[in-house]
Structure 1
């Protein structure tokens, strides 16, 4: 009685002699209803079915559960008794069937599932026949030589997905003219690094990705999400970078938009913190600033080098772009409304591919 009584089926339920076995079959079409079977956020991906023999001697007897089954496949129970009446319970999971392991082991027949050693609860549950079915409606009676397909299922628990939000991010959307491959300037893998700490990074995504990355935000508040996308070659060297953005809202699956991958970055000058530390404010005291061409750290500028950027109005940011990766420094000079210098400083920062680095500034 403890032997597994269920097997998945994609074709037929015949035995070796070509005869149909006495069996009960669970077909996803009988219970899914409006629940999507796909790899989309919020969709079901697998299920576990359990039969109870309501006619067993001594009272109802629950059979061993099926193994985890893909949501697109049938499962059949062959250890059923002709003339006995059965009910079925179906537990639906957001995980793929291969991610689930029955408590005990693969052959335990347990209806309880583990993911990476931790028990996980089903997100959906159906009863067949449903609890509100009439006495004669949807009765599941095993018949000799017949594969009876379960009918009359009804949901008894399901998540409220009406306000769930998700973000889909496809690293391949940032490739542009770049290629996946094993060369020094080809992309072997991606790292997706959410900014702000609310979401977890996804590292080592192959190029091309097998499927887009999905962030299920649940019922998290709507808002903007920014991601740093890093592309590495086969040696693990960071060669390209990009920025992705998505605006999440309740009940919507948003697609992140990614800038094209780039092998250069930018240094941003924002004098707010520097002026505050020096007790200066934009106005008559500080009206504008200029900056020299950024140089790799340690490289000395030419004598009497002229400003390369500016004058930039005080309070506005300057962007020093198209810089190869590395540490850079630049010199700035702040002037008042009459054009007289009031502050000189050195600014610098580490430039990364496809990213903008805010320079840190210190007075000379």
Structure 2
């Protein structure tokens, strides 16, 4: 579970512990923000020659008595350090290391926050070639591929490359896209994402995909695209996402995982059966992966749900997300106690649960509704 502000280790204190460590074990919540933060910290530890291991998992590690155990984006009473993903840049600066600006920006994008006041980071990003432009935040140079597999948006073209290609063809885009062409693509996406079945919240949610920061020297075409790949990949193949965040050559494999994640989650959202309750929108999906269900719930919250909180229930797993910090980790943990052999983890705004596959979705919905009364 995500630590409260009182529990999070201050940056200076965390840096002091990490600097003197003989071995650091970083356990990371399976989200793009957390794995990017771990990549920022891990690169700094490499610079300082401090041995470390990063695991994106909810399962506690077995550590030697002199190891430093740190968790990122979750809470663990037995950990030496609890780090908020948004504090990674401050921690590595306290270590005397400059954070990788592209990975850091991808982490902030995945967390849904802007580091606009951090002039040192924005200056470093500019020096690395990062530049804001019109258009859409996708990871690939192929717009049809990028838009069809984006999990930053849910629109009629999502997970349908042929339809995306056909819609882009109607724009008669030039071979070399200039600012005007990028704006036309952005307008098309915004209209598609906010029309039809979309809820009013979609008009704000789609902004994450627009006006991207281009990264000509980065592993992906844009910062937002990098964040999208990290978030999808850590939910599909956690070790691959860790390698990507640390700067290893994992681009092609990560893009494959991102495409697979997008295909599964967009299809599940379209096929889901739904129910609306007071302040809760519930979906029943043919999925068993907590990570995929978390993406389905987020996409539903942003583009389809009339309620601020969304519960996506699959076979043996569920995910709960909300528009604000609503104590979802505690709620889902309480619901898990009502379902027998079940367990929950996550943060105040996103939590997941595993339970016996024989449990009916309606029983999960009932348990969650009861603890939310």
Compute the TM-score of the two structures, normalised by the length of structure 1.
0.23
Identify which of structures 1 and 2 has the higher relative contact order when contacts are C-alpha pairs closer than 8 Å and 6+ apart.
2
Normalized per residue, the structure richer in strand is: 1
Query: Highest Rg: 1 or 2?
Result: 1
**Quick check: which one's helix share is greater?**
2
Provide the TM-score with structure 2 as the length reference.
0.23
